[in-house]
Amino acid sequence: MIAQIVNKVSAVIARWAGGEPGRYSSGLIALLLCASTAVAQRPTDPALLVPESAPALDYALAPSAVTLPAGVTMDATANVAFDPSGHLWVLTRGDKTFFEFTADGTFIRSFGDKLFTRSHGLRFDARGNIWATDVGGHVVVKLDRDGRVLLTLGTKGEAGDWNEATGSHKLNQPTDIAIAANGDVFVTQGHTPGPNGDARVLKFAPDGKFIKSWGGKGSGPGQFQVAHGIAIDAKGLLWVADRENQRVQIFDQNGTFVRELHYKGLPCSLAIGARNVFMVNGFAGQLLKLDLDGKVLAALGKPGTAPGEFGEAHMIALGPNDTVYVADSVNASLQKFVPR
């Protein structure tokens, strides 16, 4: 994908400067690779890249996850989710923000022209409304199926605190969303590792009214380094992928800490099914199968660009018949895995 972008940009510069497109390619490639690495925030600590050791996951890579019509392209995939009707949706970082497919991957439509600064989280409520996070624009947006904005949480382009006492209604790099059975909305935020930022969970009523928040930077119980993904289990407990702390923290819906689960690699996103939990392991390049207590049962994948490998195993969704979909934001791919 980067090479394709380089070729396009190089051609534009060449036309503007009156030179040959090829003479600009190497410099542009270096520049774009640096930019890509910075955006993806690949860790420099090698300990964060050590994968989990587990038996091989008994899944196979499907030939393709989706089918696109001639002339339609799908850029970097930030997230993947299923709506209540069973349609597959992909959130991208390209010119079109949303792509809708049938359950078998047949293209239906795409829309949302450059809607977000940097797309990240995707979820559907029981009525089929779209909830998506713009980690670069510091907002969470609720849209109907026609793409009309119904609600915005946060202030577009402004990072800050959500503080009812001062009237500040700002988010700081919102990453993911989970929606409870009663419609309450839980937002994770804080995408930047290190001492800066404000990694936490915020709870809102279905109409967007703020209820409470918890967290903050740190490694203690209830704190986060990077609150990257969130999911709700059958008991209503919240599982939060605390990425750089290499753990998943579990809370009740009032924010009470229940327990934590430690993993190798970088836990990024979770999908909780009736019998198992599936988790993607970031730059360690793994898809993991867990039991409902969080114990690792099996794994597949490794870092790379070949089919079945990952640049960053970023976000995950469970589909029909125990299929698993993984959005790879670095390789700009969507991969589908099926039970053998």
Per-residue CA distances from 146 to 25, 150, 222, 236 (Å): 40, 11, 38, 30
**pLDDT of residue 32 exceeding 80:** no
- 166 Cα distance to chain centroid: 31
* CA–CA separation, 284 and 51 (whole Å): 5
Contact 199, 218 (CB under 8 A): no
Contact 316, 78 (CB under 8 A): no
Torsional class of 265: left (φ above 0), alpha (ψ -120 to 50), beta (otherwise): left
- pLDDT, average across residues 121-128: 98
Q: What is the pLDDT of residue 44?
A: 86
| 3-class DSSP state of 262 | strand
Contact 283, 266 (CB under 8 A): yes
Query: ∠101-105-111 over CA atoms, to 5°?
Result: 25
Q: What pLDDT digit, counting tens, does each position of 288-333 carry?
A: 999 999 999 999 999 999 999 999 999 999 999 999 999 999 999 9
Q: What is the pLDDT of residue 189?
A: 98
| 3-class DSSP state of 23 | helix
- pLDDT, average across residues 179-185: 98
**pLDDT of residue 157 exceeding 70:** yes
Q: What is the pLDDT of residue 195?
A: 87
Q: What is the pLDDT of residue 11?
A: 39
Q: What is the pLDDT of residue 68?
A: 97
- Beta sheet of 200-204, edge-to-edge order: 174-179, 185-189, 200-204, 210-215
Contact 43, 284 (CB under 8 A): no
Q: What pLDDT digit, counting tens, does each position of 212-230 carry?
A: 999 999 999 999 999 999 9
**pLDDT of residue 136 exceeding 80:** yes
Q: How confident is the model at residue 39 (pLDDT cuts 50, 70, 90)?
A: low
DSSP secondary structure of 324-338:
EEEEETTTTEEEEEE
Give the start-to-end residue ranges of the domains of the chain. Answer: 1-40, 46-339
The model's pTM is 0.89
Q: What integer best gives the mean pLDDT of the chain? A: 90
Angle separating helix axes 2-17 and 25-40, nearest 10 degrees? 130
- pLDDT, average across residues 61-90: 97
Q: What is the pLDDT of residue 228?
A: 98
Among 3.40.50.720, 2.60.120.10, 2.120.10.30, 3.60.15.10, name the CATH number for the domain at 46-339: 2.120.10.30
**pLDDT of residue 90 exceeding 70:** yes
* CA–CA separation, 291 and 270 (whole Å): 12
β-strand partners of 249: 240, 260
> For a pLDDT cut of 90, what percent of the chain falls above it?
85
